[in-house]
Amino acid sequence: MSAWGRLSRAPHEVTRPPFLDDAAALIRTSGAPGTSRLVRGLGRSYGDVCLNAGGPLVVTDRLDRFQSLDLAAGRVRAEAGMSLDRLLRVIVPRGWFVPVTPGTKFVTLGGAVANDVHGKNHETAGSFGAHVDKLGLVRSTGESLTLSRDENAELFAATIGGLGLTGFIAWVEMTLVPIAAARLHTESLAIRDVDDFFRIAEDSRGWPFTVAWVDCLAKGRDLGRGLFMRGRWAETGDLDVHRPPRLGFAPELPGVLLNSLSMRAFNALYRKRPFAVGACTQHYDPFFYPLDALANWNRLYGKRGFYQHQCVVPFPAARDTVVRLLETTAAQGQGSFLAVLKLLGESRSGGVLSFPMPGATLALDFPNKGESTRRLLATLSEIVLAAGGRLYPAKDAVMTPEMFRAGYPDWRRLEAWRDPAFGSDFWRRVTGDAA
């Protein structure tokens, strides 16, 4: 089994229970006594939060059933393995959408809770967990609990963004948002530099969905140039659902193609493509999920896989820190296809280990070129740490224990609620002996 970044490949004792009762039994019994187990959804996290090398891994892809759907109130309760892909297929034609969505619909509800994912509307809507009303949690003792802000509130807060360590998230109940059409009015504006980004972001307060793509190979005066995208739901139009991915399987590109020249060419083409700048009304699928059109796009980074650095750095130093991060990346010339820059607001989910905080978040992909890539990632991490920021566990494969504890000072609260029979490669890496 690998994570989305395909950096490692390790054997796991994989099981895929078809029903919740099988899953609960596996949570109680799987693995040799003393080995920790982990539950995984669709494995879209990049680093090692979804890995448990050599140990039991209970995969929830078959636990994808609705338990109830109230189309009048916009409330859904479903098994934790339900993907946003399936959820949207059912709710969009009936005029509902998820209140928060990450950049892919191939994540499960359980994974979205465990990583407290955020989306383009974080400033106004908060992260995924802010919209979750209740959770079903099965502990390794066999105990089955209902968690909410009123019931087992502390365990609820630990489970939101709790990286699946508090037990098996069996089901998720959440509130949906009404939509009038499956389309958004969107605008795309050219950004000249980092200051331009912050200016346009400030001007875009009336737009619920915002994100910027940045050419991370541009240097000097052009540092931070890119495109700013903003959108809002359209008031009229069809309620048609998305289609399956157009290209089923991406090729594994040889590493030699992933050089600064090809990245430069890609970035230039992306910025200068026809209709790169302008306003339009588009379906939610290309707006929210541009990469979903190509299944397994992670294979494009070749056999050795890729790293992603995603950090959040707080105001007021956010602008200067972003400049420093982009300068460092551009100087190394190790840039990536797409760098994403966006402002985050208050974390409203209450998750103990939630990633978002008010500031700017920057996400950079790097094909794995070994030691030089890891050195660059370490340099970037130091800049983030010095600025009082932190890295996103769902994307991370390199964070040191020091960095983790500095970024997440409340981590012991999660450790206290962790199911003693649960663990992950990530958790062992960042807590080390301290856990």
Partner 1 sequence: MSAPSRILVLGASSAMAQAYARRRAATGAAFLLVGLNAARLAAVAADLRACGAPSAEVATADLADPAGIGAHAAAFRARLGEPDEILIAYGELGDQAESERDLDAARRAFDVNFTSVALWTLALLKDRPPQAPLALVVIGSVAGDRGRASNFVYGAAKGGLDRFLEGLAQAYAATPVHIVTVKPGFVDSPMTDAIAKGPLFASPDAVGADIVRAVEKRRRVVYTPWFWWVIMTIIRHLPWFVFKRLKI
- Interface with partner 1 by CB under 8 A: which residues? 16, 18-21, 62, 65-69, 76, 79, 90
Q: Minimal distance in Å, beta carbon 15 to partner 1?
A: 8
Between residues 29 and 68, which has the closer beta carbon with respect to partner 1? 68
| CA 35 remoteness from chain centre | 27
Nearer to partner 1, 84 or 430 (CB): 84
- Of 20 and 42, the one with the shorter C-beta distance to partner 1 is 20
Residue (65 or 375) nearer to partner 1, CB = 65
| Closer residue to partner 1 in complex, CB, 54/93 | 93
Q: What share of the chain is helix, strand, coil (3-state, %, to 5)?
A: 30, 25, 45
Q: Rounded distance, CA 333 to CA 308, Å?
A: 15
CB of 78 to partner 1, least distance (A): 8
Of 90 and 294, the one with the shorter C-beta distance to partner 1 is: 90
8 Å CB contact between 190 and 227: yes
For residue 1, the minimal CB distance to partner 1 (Å) is 13
- On whether the CB atoms of residues 356 and 344 are closer than 8 A, the answer is yes
Closer by beta carbon to partner 1, 63 or else 258? 63
Q: How far is CA 275 from CA 188, 189, 229, 278, in A?
A: 9, 10, 12, 6
Classify 283 as helix, strand or coil.
strand
Reference 315, options 294, 291, 343, 290; nearest CA is: 343
The 339-344 sheet, strands edge to edge: 278-283, 183-191, 226-233, 209-214, 339-344, 359-367, 306-314, 390-391
Least CB distance from residue 216 to partner 1, whole Å? 36
List the beta bridge partners of residue 168.
Answer: 138
Q: Which is nearer to partner 1, 76 or 263 (CB)?
A: 76
**What distances in angstroms separate CA 353 from CA 160, 162, 220, 283, one per listed residue?**
8, 6, 36, 33
> Residue 326: helix, strand or coil by DSSP?
helix
Rounded to an integer, what distance in angstroms lies between the CA atom of residue 227 and that of residue 361?
16
- B/e letters for 249-262, b = 16+ CB within 10 Å, e = fewer, are eeeeeeeeebeeee
Q: At what angle do helices 371-386 and 318-332 cross, to 10 degrees?
A: 170
Shortest separation between residue 86's beta carbon and partner 1, angstroms: 9
- Minimum distance from residue 295 beta carbon to partner 1 (Å): 13
Distance of closest approach, residue 9 Cβ to partner 1, in angstroms: 16
- Smallest separation, CB 149 to partner 1 (Å): 25
Using alpha carbons only, what angle is made at residue 363 by residues 81 and 414, rounded to the nearest 5 degrees?
50
CB of 66 to partner 1, least distance (A): 3
Residue closer to partner 1 by CB (options 69, 276) is: 69
